[in-house]
Amino acid sequence: MQDMSNKQLRILHAVRAPVGGIFRHILDVANGQAERGHQVGIVADSLTGGDRAAAALAEIAPRLSLGVYRMPMQREPHFTDAMAWTRFMRLVQRLRPDVLHGHGAKAGAFVRMKPASKDAIRVYTPHGGSLHYPSNTLKGQVYSRLERALMNRTELFLFESAFARNTYQRLIGAPSGLVKCVFNGVTADEFDPIETADDATGLVYVGEFRHIKGADLLIDAVAQLRAHGRPVTLTLGGDGEETAALKAQVQRLGLTEAVRFIGHIKPRYGFSKGRLLVVPSRGDSMPYVVIEAAAAAMPIIAANTGGIPEIFDSHTDALFTAGNVNAMAEAIRTAIDAPEAARARADALRERISLHFSQKAMVEGVITGYREAFARR
């Protein structure tokens, strides 16, 4: 096998759903790798992402010398998986990447089902994925078995948080391949301050509308605060499978004058629509929205779950018990009553993000991981 310590690499990233933080991560890593002279390509599902994914992939395509490809990949195990994997393997055989990097459970499985090669490494970043399913559920048991079967067909595991790494090792096992943690990172222009909009509400949520993200819990917390005489208001920026249910919840609780929906927006625009960002996740690994808001010195409170505490480090006073509406309402009340403390914490977090969560550090960490995996071979 040739020496890969200085070689410009041929890197193919694969992901099922080109949406949310996982997609942003891939675009940022791919951009950074291309800027450093590597030949990069992206394969993504064609069934999800809509116009936004198509536009983002069209924008990055001129910088990716290995190209952009779309093919159908079902979220759950599906009878079409064999056909999709065969198509994926034909593409791999044609592109001959040195690095096959699968993001998420489905793409990670496609990558690691490829037979081992002396000239290429298989890399896996779970991004939560199948690890979100509790081990005492049928799905959790099935996915754990599948992960276990693929575990030692992986030359490099890249986790975005120590939490994700520890969860994998607790639920699946200790891999024989190299294991590295590389934090998600943000770009230099994301450290510019946010100008609060004239119509900003007291609270803001930015993200997908999925059960695990907990927007319904935040709505309940707003209802509780208002019932106790706190006239808080909330902007919800995002969309997703729970959009209709959340709008119905707001209607049912009589909050139509207090809660507004502004649809899918860019995070920094969303941050401008509120004075305090609330991250109510039931579970998360290393959410970009927290890193993005912290970089912009946006006051934040967040659920104490997943990799979120790794972002906040010693600033634990900003965290509340995940899944607990009462704890969230109390954290909101505290932040509103002590705005100077929330602002000072935001400034300190911005400094922490600049030191540990930059895009440059993330890209360099990923490439270093690749090279260490080749050296280990």
User: Do 172 and 93 have their domain in common?
Assistant: yes
User: Do 87 and 16 have their domain in common?
Assistant: yes
Asked whether residue 249 is domain-assigned, the answer is yes
User: Do 87 and 177 have their domain in common?
Assistant: yes
Tokens of 267: 């995070």
User: Do 242 and 102 have their domain in common?
Assistant: no
User: Do 96 and 145 have their domain in common?
Assistant: yes
Q: What's the pLDDT score for residue 377?
A: 79
User: Do 346 and 371 have their domain in common?
Assistant: no
Phi, then psi, of 25 in degrees rounded to 5:
-55, -50
User: Do 327 and 195 have their domain in common?
Assistant: yes
* Rounded-to-integer distance, Cα 278 and Cα 329, Å: 10
**CATH code at position 344:** 3.40.50.2000
User: Do 363 and 352 have their domain in common?
Assistant: no
The residue assigned the tokens 């209802």 is 223
Asked whether residue 2 is domain-assigned, the answer is no
Q: What's the pLDDT score for residue 140?
A: 73
61-116-5-147 Cα dihedral, nearest 10 degrees: 70
Which segments in the chain show pLDDT lower than 50? Answer: none
Asked whether residue 5 is domain-assigned, the answer is no
Q: What's the pLDDT score for residue 134?
A: 67
Q: What's the pLDDT score for residue 6?
A: 77
User: Do 89 and 66 have their domain in common?
Assistant: yes
* Rounded-to-integer distance, Cα 78 and Cα 74, Å: 6
Residue range of the domain that includes 263: 189-356
- Please report the sign of the dihedral spanned by the C-alpha atoms of residue 348, residue 213, residue 78, residue 24: negative
For residue 63, the SS3 value is helix
Q: What's the pLDDT score for residue 184?
A: 92
User: Do 123 and 208 have their domain in common?
Assistant: no
Asked whether residue 331 is domain-assigned, the answer is yes
Query: How many structural domains comprise the chain?
Result: 2
User: Do 69 and 171 have their domain in common?
Assistant: yes
User: Do 371 and 295 have their domain in common?
Assistant: no
pTM of this structure: 0.84
Q: What's the pLDDT score for residue 138?
A: 76
